Amino acid sequence: MQFQKKELTKNQLRNIELLIYLYEKDAVNDEVVENLRQSELEYASLLDKYRLLEEKVNLDEKTNLLRMKNDYLTNILKTASRIYYGMKAKCYPVSFIRFDIDDFSKFNNLYGHDVGDEVLIHVARILKENSRPTDYVIRFGGEEFDIILPSTAIEGALVYIDKIFSKIRDLEIHFHGKNFKVTVSSGISHMIYEFGNAKIIENQDAEIRFKQMQREADDALYEAKSSGKNCYRIYDKLKKDEYSKIRQLYKKN
């Protein structure tokens, strides 16, 4: 039986050297090992993300953000599984945020599509500049943007979204002698994936989970819109039966 040779990356070699040094100093504990594992995960995630960005066909021309694809969560979980395989009850959090520019049609209808394009570009820039290299910043379509935050629990997602709202609150667009303010509404969903002895991530299962996260964030987004806009809401599974009513009422108004 032949085994394929697997070369160690520079990041892995650096972590091994650091681990040997810490062993010699009798300074290795669970926290150190977990931090090294997290470092390895971030490095692997970056490599996967850069490979994706090299595929220029997957970028939105107007905003230079990623286009939506169904396999993003699959890629994230497969990358994480390479690091956490064999760890029992290892919980891996992922958060998902959907942003919608409030009253976007007025920019196009009152001022023209050039102004609408400027709004899209400025909001996209804020999202991209304030996201980590491992985050997925996506133009979902029209005036909607999606953010996937790997290895991020809801607490981290709230820190992120508060920062985004603060940046957009300060945003003022100048176009042909006119000034424009922009607000957004947003919905947040999150999941926890438990790694164990299952090394293989099933594509279909991951895609189903991803669609569920999108649907939940969209429900929370409609709640934010119904609450007066310029705010965000977190999906609450206890309100699952209420979201369809919230959606219907908002569309009627």
Asked about 143 being catalytic, the answer comes back as yes
Helix 30-54 / helix 10-24 crossing angle, nearest 10 deg = 170
Are 96 and 189 within 8 A, CB to CB? yes
Catalytic residue among 143, 207, 223, 242: 143
Q: How far is CA 226 from CA 90, 142, 204, 216, in A?
A: 37, 20, 33, 15
Q: Vertex 124, ends 115 and 230: CA angle to 5°?
A: 80
3-state class (DSSP) for residue 178: strand
Instruction: Give the CA distances from residue 114 to residues 81, 144, 175, 176, 183, in Å, rounded to whole numbers and listed in that order.
Output: 44, 17, 9, 10, 18
Residues with catalytic annotation?
Answer: 143
